[in-house]
Chain A
Amino acid sequence: MTEPLLSVEDLYIRFKTYAGTVHAVNGMSFHIHPGEIFGLVGESGCGKSVTGLAVLGMVPYPGEVIAGRILFHGENLLQKNRREMEQIRGGRIAMIFQDPSASLNPVFTVGSQISRIIRHHRRVDRHEARALALAGFEAVGLPDPARIFRAYPHELSGGMQQRVMIAMALASGAELLIADEPTTALDVTIQAQILALLNDLRAAQGVSILLITHDLGVVAETCDRVGVAYAGSIVETGPTAQVLYQMKHPYTRGLLEALPRPSHRGKALQSIPGSVPSGLDLPSGCPFWPRCPEVMDICREQKPLPTRLDEVGHRVACHLYSREGQR
């Protein structure tokens, strides 16, 4: 296979707060190939959003990356200076967020916002920027681009706002789009349209997408490969079909069993007992052991390393499958 476009390697991020040190990301590793949609799934607080921000060098204060590498085209982004990152952000790696209505600046027209980004990255004049913006609006399926260009954000619907955000993100020719819960704030039909749009853009422009979500349905519909994050690291990863239909990790299994299903109508919903560990006080060994139905002695002491299960890249970090666990 080709060299990955982005690879996050053994990333650790911590936040020093008054309450103590929060270990938000603990050895997160995954990679994304050119033209691929990779889903990073997990519950709130599993470190998926902060990982997305870390790729752009934007871990919010008081957080800091303490170890690991983030390679983009083989170059470590963690070693870039501020000016280099201002070129990469929005230019080569773009990001969109959960709530499009809050992501657009209310006191500037949509056109002035997208033009500013285009002009920052492409060094073109006002007219060229406008032409590029209108083309971008058309590419994301917005009707009447000239009207959208003049409009203020509050004059657009949620779905249109998210399309505008995507157009802004891609207007400067980004190769990687980080989409942090891009559909969570939208209603279901609009959600489906936005996901279809992301799929189309991948096909038409070859853009790779890191899709951060808690929604396994979104993953099943959109992603080529998926990584399931728990307490700041990936517990299971691989092609979407393998992970969702031949899941190995007890956490992944628990997540999927917790989904409501028509065939289970009338029965109580399953849930994983216990709750997500706080980053302030992580259990030793495997972070999932206090909630795991198949916990063994080794799980309490040693953090499992990812074990490769097959030829298509399905990996799982669980002692049920590790060499140490088999002894």
Chain B
Amino acid sequence: MSRWEYIARRLLMAVVVLISVSIITFLIARVVPSDPAAAWVGPRPTQEQIAQAARQLGLDRPLYEQYLRYMRDILTGNFGVSIRTHQPILRDLRVFLPATLELVLAGMLMAVLIGIPLGVLSGAGKGSLLDHLTRLVSIAGVSMPTFWLGLLLQLFFFSRLGLLPLSGRLSTEISLTSPVVPITGMYTLDALVAGNWVAFKDALWHLILPAFTLATYPIGLTIRMTRSTMIEVLQEKYILAARAAGIPERTVLFVLALKNAITPTLTVLGLSFVYSLTGAILVEVIFAWPGLGSYVTDAVLSVDFPVIVSVTLVVTVFYVFINLFLDLAQAAIDPRVTLQ
């Protein structure tokens, strides 16, 4: 099977997955005891107002018809309106999704840049001082509550040292003097593209603490995962042969061994990426970061079903593509893997 054929088949399967996910989410959001029509109208509604809202929202129709209408709208690019805020969901997503993506991508980048090298070195020096230190770091990273770590970092880097901003995505004065023109919605990227260095630096400084807080868990996972596969790979004969051929140790570890050991780490990173899209809520709250996590949490608490279904579909799309990407990456890394 050619690579393109494989991709086409996977995308077809993705459509099936998306339809199933939308049905399940829609049903769950609708079977919980709540009255969207009443929520739509606001506090202290009359029976008539509720009935009118129900008609307006199509809630008086059979459930399958509601679902079909909802899906038809989504396919035409209309994600509907939030029950709670009456705001178009697409407009909300344009703000919250890029903010979350910026945060999560920065966190994943940190996990790659910190976790993989530390994992390689502790795998190579199993039982060394570094290995014990990274074990401590990764256990702490995986088990320390996010909100606690976030608060500590704020206390230290903002209150004590005054090095980094407390929260938000941009300082008020910067957003007034050199505002970021949204292109992707990721401030650092947009400022960089526009050559707006002042705003870039400010946005980057705002990003560091929340991204690091978010990254501690994947850093811990990455270190442990990379370490254990490295230990296995370093036992292989081809590593001995490479060393016997005089290849410098740095190349042996970071090129020859790492390429054999990287796949499980990529899988873990991919999964934590998708998880963080909505799982970053605590980080978003502590650092006042207007992201998808807070958005969907509010929606869940008020049974705002159009928002819940929309966000779920967006996350599912990411999940499907990340998985496809991981499978393609694995095949690209290891020629013995066949796509089927």
Taking Cβ atoms with an 8 Å cutoff, the residues of A that contact B are 53, 56, 58, 82, 85-91, 94-97, 99, 102-108, 116-117, 120-121, 152, 154, 165, 168-169
Contact = CB atoms under 8 A, between A and B. Distances in A.
A203 B246 CA distance: 25
Contacts of B241: 95-97, 103-104, 165
A106 B238 contact: yes
Contacts of B238: 102-106
Given A58-B244, A96-B241, A120-B245, 18 more contacts: A82-B249, A85-B246, A86-B246, A89-B246, A90-B245, A95-B245, A103-B238, A103-B240, A105-B242, A105-B260, A106-B238, A106-B335, A107-B334, A116-B247, A116-B251, A117-B245, A120-B248, A154-B336
A117 B335 contact: no
Contacts of B246: 85-91, 117, 120-121
B260 A90 contact: no
A102 B238 CA distance: 6
A105 B256 contact: yes
A85 B238 CA distance: 18
A151 to B, nearest CB: 9
A168 B247 CA distance: 12
Given A102-B236, A105-B256, A107-B259, A94 B244 contact: yes
Contacts of A105: 238, 242, 256, 260
Given A99-B237, A104-B238, A152-B335, A89 B259 contact: no
Contacts of B251: 116
Nearest to A178: B244
B294 to A, nearest CB: 42
Contacts of A86: 246-248
A108 B251 CA distance: 13
B333 interface: yes
A132 B177 CA distance: 61
B55 interface: no
B61 interface: no
A106 B334 contact: yes
Interface of B: 236-238, 240-249, 251, 256, 259-260, 333-336
A58 B239 CA distance: 12
A108 B249 CA distance: 17
A108 B243 contact: no
A238 B286 CA distance: 79
29 contacts: A53-B244, A56-B244, A85-B246, A88-B246, A89-B243, A89-B244, A89-B245, A89-B246, A90-B244, A91-B246, A94-B244, A94-B245, A96-B241, A97-B240, A97-B241, A102-B236, A102-B237, A102-B238, A103-B241, A105-B238, A105-B242, A105-B256, A106-B336, A107-B259, A107-B260, A107-B334, A116-B247, A152-B336, A165-B241
Contacts of B245: 89-90, 94-95, 117, 120, 168-169
A53 B260 CA distance: 24
A58 B243 contact: yes
A288 to B, nearest CB: 31
Contacts of B242: 105
Contacts of A89: 243-246
A152 B333 CA distance: 12
Tell which of B245, B259, B336 has the most Cβ of chain A within 10 Å.
B245
Contacts of A85: 246
Nearest to B263: A107
Contacts of A97: 237, 240-241, 244
Nearest to A165: B241
A101 to B, nearest CB: 9
A91 B236 CA distance: 22
